[in-house]
Amino acid sequence: MALNLTNIVANFLQQNPEQKFTGREIADWIFATYPDECREKQKNSTAIIIPLDNETALLNQIAAEISSRRVSLQKQYPKIKTTEGRPRKYYFTKSTDSAEIDIAESRATSPASKVNDSILKEHDLYPILSKFLWSELGIYGKRIDEKYSHNSRGTGGNKWLYPDLVGMEVLSGDWHREIKDCVQQYADKKTKLWSFEVKILINRSNVREVFFQAVSNSSWANFGYLVASEIEGANTLKELRILASLHGIGFIKLDVENPSESQIMIPAKERSEVDWDTANRIAEENKDFLEYIKLIRQFYQTGEMSKLNWDTSTDQ
């Protein structure tokens, strides 16, 4: 009997609701569940460039065919959804996009999350992002905590004002001392400043809201990014690309298990100048951001960097 991958995958996901699987994980299950059919597929294969002459090649082929059927699978079974980025994951859910956001956020803030390490919280993403920024991009990251804000403008007065994390990219790290001194005399730029808004999940329900939140609290920086550990749906990523082309905010898909595998899926557009008026507004309200500005000033005054005041540990 030939494998009907569309129906088999749909049935498997329906039997495991809310659980997310890569194409290779589904292929492994198919091979274990339908060994005779898989061997028949292997036997009948006419592939020449990549022949199905071993189990690994067969599993890779099944995973590739699952990926190629993604659009028709979701059209036939609308409750099957996928994440974007590497690797794509498939799952079955009866929840709406809006409900999925509510569930993710309620899990992150519930008392159970304090004792259940398996529940990913937004706060958990900050050190992972810092590790990626430092180890892969050489960016000094610093957390901006809203708890250290004055909120002098009352409830809602500072909504979408602070980014979750900021960064500084040192352009002069490997410059000769004479060049550094010359640039300092000419008051030229030796750094680029980065701003990051972090979310656990982005889908069609919240994509515009979180994007414009990133626009609002990153408008002062040279580079502004929206960051998420999960992005669901090709249309969501398409919407982000459209918005990014208009407003210049980039997108990073954060790999929580292996930060070095995180992806800059949409590069941010560089702003040539920092908006110091907006930076001053944030510094007046938040002590973490004021400390960030002090660190930048100290670097320009001394030309030296100390990692002690930055979130640069690769052991986090």
CA distance 203 to 233: 7
User: Is the CB of residue 295 less than 8 Å from the CB of residue 306?
Assistant: no
- Decide if 289 contacts 283 (C-beta within 8 A): yes
- The 10s digit of each residue's pLDDT in 67-76 is 998 888 999 9
Question: What pLDDT does 238 receive?
Answer: 93
Residue 186 predicted with pLDDT over 60: no
**What pLDDT does 142 receive?**
94
Q: What pLDDT is recorded for position 12?
A: 95
Contact (Cβ atoms closer than 8 angstroms) between residue 273 and residue 265: no
Question: What is the mean predicted confidence (pLDDT) over 21-28?
Answer: 94
- Strands of 107-258, DSSP E: 139-143, 165-170, 191-202, 223-231, 250-253
Q: How confident is the model at residue 306 (pLDDT cuts 50, 70, 90)?
A: confident
Mean pLDDT of the residues in the chain:
85
The percent of residues in the chain predicted with pLDDT above 70, rounded, is 84
Distances in Å between the alpha carbon of 2 and those of 8, 41, 42, 182, 232? 11, 7, 11, 72, 31
The distance from CA 228 to its chain's CA centroid, rounded to whole angstroms, is 3
Which residues make up the CATH 1.10.10 domain(s) of the chain?
A: 5-94
What is d(CA 233, CA 207) in angstroms, rounded to the nearest whole number?
11
Between the alpha carbon of residue 105 and those of residues 13, 76, 123, 141, 213, the distances in Å are 24, 29, 11, 24, 16
Cβ contact 11:30 at 8 Å: no
Q: Which two three-digit tokens encode residue 126?
A: 């900050």
**Which range among 99-103, 237-241, 262-266 shows the weakest confidence by mean pLDDT?**
99-103
Q: Does domain 5-94 have CATH number 1.10.287?
A: no
pLDDT band of residue 112 (cuts 50, 70, 90) is: very low
Is residue 21 within a helix (H) or strand (E), and if so which, with residue range?
strand 21-22
User: CB-based contacts of 88: which residues, under 8 Å, 6+ apart?
Assistant: 22, 23, 67, 70, 82
> What average pLDDT does range 13-17 have in this prediction?
94
More confident position, 174 or 280: 280
Instruction: Give the predicted TM-score (pTM) of the model.
Output: 0.76
What does the pLDDT read at residue 106?
66
Which pLDDT score is estimated for 181?
64
Residue type, 34: Y
Please say if the pLDDT value at position 311 is more than 60. Answer: yes
Residue 206: which of 103, 126, 107 has the closest Cα? 103
Is the pLDDT reported for residue 262 higher than 70? yes
Per-residue pLDDT tens digits for 126-180:
999 999 999 999 999 999 987 767 666 655 556 778 899 999 998 866 666 666 6
- Is residue 185 scored above 60 in pLDDT? no
